[in-house]
A and B are shown apart, each in its own frame.
Chain A
Amino acid sequence: MIVKKVTPLLAGLIFLFGVYIVLHGHLTPGGGFAGGAIIAGAFILLILAYGSSALNLRKEVAGSSNTESVALLMVCILAIMGLLFGAKVFFFNFLPKGTPGELLSAGFIPLYNIFIGIEVAGAILTIFLALVIFKEESSK
């Protein structure tokens, strides 16, 4: 009962904290990997609190695996854009650098961070959901 009341309040905060970690990856400690794991943790907390029957897990696992695939594809597209613009180098940092220390700086590092964050969150969530679905279906 207490868990079910507190979890929706906390999960949103944890999700926001993960987004903050991802967006400020080039300014403060953290980055795509840490933030993505935190975002996945928020969803895992929701699933643990409400049980696997409350959510449509099949739909969710399809959504999370699609999301991570698209995010990884976007990372590759970013890398190839470095080939097209500027120097002919894979992963060339082609965007303007800006002033170091501001939120919108460091070229394409924030973008890359965001896509890596989405990819990591999707991957961890997919693994967790696959395990939960396996347990549900094998216990039937």
Chain B
Amino acid sequence: MGFRGPGHPAAFANKLTQSNMELTISIILGFMIIGAIYAIHARDLLSAVVAMGIVGYGLVVCFLLLKAPDLAIVQIVVETITLVIMVAVVLDSTREELKISLDRRAIVQVIAGLIVFAGLFYFFTLAIENLDPLGIHTMRMSETYVNGAVEKTGSINLVTGVLFDFRAYDTLGEAVILYIAALGVLTLLRIKGKK
């Protein structure tokens, strides 16, 4: 495993052995799949939203078990906020699902989607032929990150060291994405300008 600073709260996960952890994650993944399937087929939209909550919070537990607390914090907060917004939307509009009828236009769209899927699948098969066989890690880039991060960045949280120093461009891009998302929402939801 990589470098872990003093006081890193990952010790609790070491109690679980490898096979135990895989079993636990498999059970949680099973629950997530059940929740997702229920969310598709639920008649009531509110229960569909709550079933989507199972998927989100199950993902949080998976992140914690896989020793990624940084991701787990973000996931749990964002999941809660989106759940609140979705529940508000469902309570405010309708709780019934809309009926979708198959007309000619829908069939054309489905066929177009299938063609795009086939094209992407062709490139996917091309790509996996060039991958290393399963079980061999390609650590060419991350090895230098894991070994020299503390000396190079001075940050004992390796994730922050990578995100905010080696990959500072990525972080700037993510921040710009959020900024543009907020701009887009403000632009789409203005009422005074439309009149």
Contacts and interface: CB of A to CB of B under 8 A. Distances in A.
Contact of A27 (B5, B172, B181, B186): B5
A12 interface: no
A100 B77 contact: no
A14 to B, nearest CB: 10
Nearest to B89: A131
Given A27-B5, A48-B84, A109 B161 contact: yes
A116 B185 contact: no
A109 B164 contact: yes
Q: For chain A, what secondary structure do more than half of its interface residues adopt (helix, strand, loop), or is it mixed?
A: helix
Most buried by A among B73, B178, B182: B182
A106 B161 CA distance: 8
Contacts of B80: 41
B177 to A, nearest CB: 9
Main secondary structure of the interface of B (DSSP, over half): helix
Interface residues on A, range: 35 or more
Given A65-B186, A127-B181, A101 B156 contact: yes
Which bracket fits the contact residues of B? 35 or more
B74 A33 contact: yes
Contact of B185 (A25, A40, A131): A131
A134 B175 contact: no
Contacts of A131: 85, 88, 185, 189
B182 A25 contact: no
Contact of B92 (A32, A119, A120, A135): A135
Interface of B: 5-9, 69-70, 72-74, 77-78, 80-81, 84-85, 88, 92, 150, 153-157, 159-161, 163-165, 168-169, 171-172, 174-176, 178-179, 181-182, 185-186, 189, 191
